[in-house]
Amino acid sequence: MDFELGGTKEIANGELVRSIGGGLILVRINDKEYQIKLLKSGSDYFEFILDDSFYTAKIIQSGSSEVRLSINGRTHTVKQHSKLTEILEKSLSLTAKIGGEKILVSQIPGRVVNVLAAVRAEVKKGDSIVVLESMKMQVAVKAHRDGIVKELRVKKGATVSRNDIIAVIE
């Protein structure tokens, strides 16, 4: 299996070799073998010593192709590539694109303090569609593409969560 560490373009090939008893587990990463001393494990929590250093790993979210986890409190996203997932991903991302391209989502949670665009209006990529307020800051949600505003899913005063749909732009 290949793993890509989000944001770094680092790719590693990794596999479990075997458990060698006494809580020791052998893995091979990029053709190098590592002995892992497993100290604590659960479905989403691991403590282990690797290369003579202690690590705490928490699995935050896990999908078929992507895992979000923290290593000693530092959060990472790791993409898993195998031939199968690659094929799956391609087809998924294709579908996602068709729907996804039109949909403008909010990257932050907040309250809508201003709606700047109207339905049927023409907008350019980067135009502010709505203004959200969170933590005394005002943040604009901007159009992700040129197009026509087909739908506006929020009203002034509404509360939106992260990833809520703000508008449909075609």
Partner 1 sequence: MAKKIQSLLVANRGEIALRVIRACGELGIKSIALYSDEDTRSIHVKRADKAYYLGPPSPSESYLNIDKIIEIATRVGADAIHPGYGFLSENENFPELCSKNGIIFIGPKKKAMEITGDKMKCKAVMKKADIPFVPGSDGIVNDMEEAVDIAAAAGYPVLLKSAFGGGGRGIRLANDEKQLRQEFEMAAAESKAAFGKAALYVEKYMQRIRHIEYQLVRDSHGQGRHLFERECSIQRRHQKLVEMSPSPVLDQETRNRIGEIAVRAAEAVDYLNAGTAEFLRDEQGNFYFIEINSRLQVEHPVTELVTGIDLVKLQISIAQGETIPFKQDDLGLRGCAIECRINAEDPFFGFTPSVGTVPSCNIPYGPGIRVDTYLYPGCSVSGYYDSLVAKLIAWGKDFEESRVRTKNALKEFTVEGINTTIPLFKTIMDEDNFIKGELSTDYLERFSILDRMNRDAVESSKQDLIPAVSAILLRSEFVKKNHLYQQSTSSKQRTGWQSKG
| Site residues (vs partner 1, CB under 8 A) | 3, 5-8, 10, 12, 14-16, 22-25, 27, 29, 34, 36-44, 46-59, 62, 67, 69-74, 76, 78, 80, 107-111, 134-137, 139
Shortest Cβ 93–partner 1 spacing (Å) = 21
Q: Which amino acid is at 13?
A: N
DSSP state at residue 109 = -
Q: Which is nearer to partner 1, 81 or 121 (CB)?
A: 81
Shortest Å distance, C-beta 61 to partner 1: 11
Q: How far is the CB of 114 from partner 1 (least distance, A)?
A: 16
Looking at beta carbons only, is 73 or 99 nearer to partner 1?
73
How many of the other CB atoms lie within 10 Å of CB of 44?
Answer: 12
Which residue, 23 or 151, is less far from partner 1 as judged by CB? 23
Contact 106, 162 (CB under 8 A): yes
Tokens 């996602």 belong to which residue?
96
Cβ nearer to partner 1, comparing 2 with 151: 2
Q: If we measure between CA atoms, which residue out of 85, 72, 68, 99 comes closest to residue 6?
A: 68
Question: How many Cβ atoms are within 10 Å of 136's Cβ, its own excluded?
Answer: 5
